[in-house]
Copies of this chain bind each other. A is one copy, B any other.
Amino acid sequence: MGEIPVLPVAPTRGRLRPLGLDEVRITGGFWARRRHTNATATLGHCRDWMERVGWTGNFRAAAQDRVHRERRGREFADSELYKLLEAMAWQSGDEGTLDTDIAALTEAVASAQEPDGYLNTAFGHTGQQPRYSDLEWGHELYCHGHLIQAGVAQARTGGEGELTKIARRAADHVCATFGRSGIQGVCGHPGIETALVELARMTGEQRYLDQAALFVDRRGHGTLADIEFGRAYYQDDIPVRRATVFRGHAVRALYLAAGAVDVAVETGDDDLLDAVVRQWEATVARRTYLTGGMGSHHRDESFGDDFVLPPDRAYSETCAGVASVMLSWRLLLATGEPRFADLAERTLFNVVATSPAQDGRAFFYANTLHRRRRGAVPATGAASPRAESSLRAPWFAVSCCPTNVARTLAQLPAYLATADDHGVQLHQYADAEIATSLKGGHRVALRIRTDYPSSGSVTVRIEQSSPRSPWTVSLRVPAWTAGATACLTDPDGTRRHVAPGTAEVTRSFRPGDEIRLDLPVRPRWIRPDPRIDAVRGTVAVQRGPLVYCAESVDLPDGHDVDVIRVDPSVAPEDGPEGAVVAAGQVTAYDGRRDEAWPYRPFDGAAAESTADRTGIVLVPYHSWANRGPSTVRVWLPTVEPDRPAPPNSAPTGR
C-alpha cells in the first residue's frame, strides 16, 4: 500500500480499513463487464455530450466573461464535468490512460477559476446573479464539493496535479467564506460535506474537517427558505442529530447522511453516528423499495411517508442509489456490520446496474418498478426530461445520473473487501484478486473465483500467506439467504451451515488453501409487508441478490404486463439464460375496455379465477428495457379470487 491509498473513502478511524484500487482487482464476471463498458463507452459518451450541449464550453465562456449570454444547462451543470473527471481518475488505473481527456477538461475548468478560488459558471460573472445569492437552488457549494472530490481522486490515483490544486483553492475559498465568522448558511444541496472530509483525510488539514462539521451542524435550523416542498426537501427542517428517518429529496438526504458519517468518524462523535444509523434503519425498514431504490415521489424527488412505496411511481433515482451505496459503505467501514453491505449489494445489482444500457451509452434516471405503457424511444440528439424516460436516454436536461453511475463503477473494486487487525473481510462477491498487508506487515493475497450472482458458489483461494501467522477470512452471508441454506467449506473440507451475517475461517493459511461458500441462489417468492398498500395482493421473485420482473417482450400474443397473475403456491424455477419461470396465468383485459365505470357494487361471494395455468417468464430487473419498448412489473398479482360482480349487478353500475 502506498502513502496515499487509492480509495474513494479513506477514514482515519473506524472498525474496518478499506482496501484500495491498488489492492483489489475485479478480474471477470458481472461487474468486470460493466466496468469495461464504463471505461470504453460511458466515459467518452459523457465527455462528448457535455461538449455537445455546451457544459464544457461554459467554463471557457466564463473565462472570457461571455458566460451570461452563452451559458448552457442548469445551474449545477458544472458538477457533471467534475463527476466525469472523478470517474476518469478512478478508472484510469486499469483501462489505459485517460490523461489526455483529463488534461483537456482540467484546462477548461482551470480557466474559469477566480483568483480567490471560487469556481462556478452560473454566478458572479457579468450579467449574472451574485455569488451565494441563492443558496436554496444555486448549487454553488454542491458544485465545489464535486470539484473537490475530483481533485482528491486525482491525487489518490496519479498524484496531486493541476486538478488537485484547483480543488484545494476552491476548498480554501469555501472555508474562508463559510467559516465560523463567514456566511451562516448551507447549500440547498448537500455534497460539500463528504468532499471536505475526504480532502481533510488526504491533506491532513483539520480546517477542512471543521468546515464540514460546521455545515452538518448548521443544517436543520431553517437558514434556507421555506419553499413549497417544505424545508424537509433539503433537510433544513430538523438537525441531523435529532432526525429519526430520511426525508425530503432522496439524494440530498443521503449525501448529507454520508457527510455526517464522515464527520462523526473523524471526530469520534458517536452520537452523530448513532443518529445516522437510526435514520438508516428506519428508512430501510419503511421507505425502501425491494430493489434498494429510494424515493417514492416524482413531485420533489423525495422519500414518501412510511410504507408509501408505489411501484408505478417509484422515482428510485439512480443517483439516490449511488448515494445509498456511498452511505452504506461508510456505515460498514465505521461499524463492521454486514447489514450495510447487504443493502449496498441489493442497490448495486438492482439500481446502479439497472441504469446504464448494455452499451453504456444510455441511462435510466428514475427506476420504476412498474410501467404500464410502452414508451417511445428517446431522441438520440437531444437531452431527455429526467423523469419521463420510458427507455434509457443518452442524456438528460438534468444529467446527474450518467456521471454518477460512471464514477461508482470506476470505484467499484474498492467496495469489495476490507481489512482489520485480524484479517480480510469479503463484502461483495466477484471474480477478483486481493493483495494487502495485515498487521505487522504480513502480506496476504487471495484469489476469488465465482460467477456470482448467476451461481451462488464462491471459491476463495489463498495465494500468499505466512504459515506462521494465523489470520481470519470473513465472508458476508447475505441476509437474503434467510430461510434457505448457505454452506461454508473450510480448507480441510469441513462443510457447515452458515446463517445470515458473517462466516469466518481463522487459521495459519498456506498458499493453495481454499474456502468455498455456497449461497442458495434458487429463485424465491417475496411478500411485502401488509402496510405497503401499493403492492397488496402481489408477490415478487428474487434470485440471490437479483430482483426479477415480468417484461412484456416475454409474454405471448403481444400482451402487456397487466394480464399476468402468478400462483405463489408453486415455487418459481430457473429458466434458460438467467430467466426464471413462474406458474401463473394470462388474462387479457382487452375485452373489458368498454366498462363505463371501474368500481362495482357487490353483495355476493368471490369467484375463483378459472384461467389456464401457464409458465410466466421473468428476467433480472436490471436487464429490462434492453429489447425495445416494453411494459414491466416487479410485483405480480396473485391468482387469488378475481371477485367479479354478481350477475344482478349491471356492469355500468356506480
Listed in ascending order, the chain A residues whose CB lies under 8 Å from chain B are: 228-230, 281, 284-286, 288, 290, 297-299, 305-308, 310-313, 339, 342, 346, 370, 372-373, 385-388, 397, 478-484, 499-500, 524-538, 540, 542, 562, 568-569, 571, 589, 592-603, 605, 635, 637, 640, 642-643, 645-646, 648-650, 652-654
Contacts and interface: CB of A to CB of B under 8 A. Distances in A.
A602 B571 CA distance: 10
Contacts of A387: 228, 299
A499 B597 CA distance: 17
Contacts of A373: 305-306
Nearest to A289: B599
A654 B480 contact: yes
Nearest to A524: B601
Nearest to A646: B483
Contact of A601 (B388, B525, B597, B649): B525
Nearest to A593: B285
Nearest to A545: B654
24 contacts: A228-B387, A281-B596, A310-B310, A310-B313, A346-B654, A480-B653, A480-B654, A482-B601, A482-B652, A482-B653, A483-B603, A483-B646, A484-B601, A500-B650, A525-B602, A526-B600, A527-B600, A527-B643, A531-B589, A533-B635, A534-B534, A536-B537, A540-B599, A542-B601
Contacts of A569: 605
A162 to B, nearest CB: 36
B653 A500 contact: yes
Contacts of A312: 305, 308, 310, 533-534
Contact of A482 (B288, B339, B650): B650
A181 B299 CA distance: 39
A534 B596 contact: no
Contact of A642 (B306, B530, B594, B637): B530
A499 B143 CA distance: 67
Contacts of A311: 533
Given A500-B650, A533-B637, 16 more contacts: A284-B596, A297-B313, A298-B299, A305-B372, A306-B373, A307-B562, A312-B534, A346-B654, A479-B653, A480-B653, A480-B654, A483-B602, A483-B653, A524-B602, A529-B599, A540-B599
A146 B529 CA distance: 48
A271 B233 CA distance: 47
A483 B645 contact: yes
A514 to B, nearest CB: 28
A339 B649 contact: no
Nearest to A478: B654
Contact of A372 (B308, B386, B478): B308
B637 A530 contact: yes
Contacts of A642: 530
Interface centre among A288, A592, A643 (most CB of B within 10 A): A643
Interface centre among A306, A307, A598, A650 (most CB of B within 10 A): A598
Contacts of A481: 653
Contacts of A601: 480, 482-484, 524-526, 542
Contact of A536 (B230, B484, B538): B538
Interface centre among A308, A533, A536 (most CB of B within 10 A): A533
Contacts of A635: 533
B372 A307 contact: yes
Nearest to A370: B533
Contacts of A288: 598
A73 to B, nearest CB: 14
Interface centre among A307, A538, A597 (most CB of B within 10 A): A597
A322 to B, nearest CB: 20
Contacts of A499: 650
A230 to B, nearest CB: 7
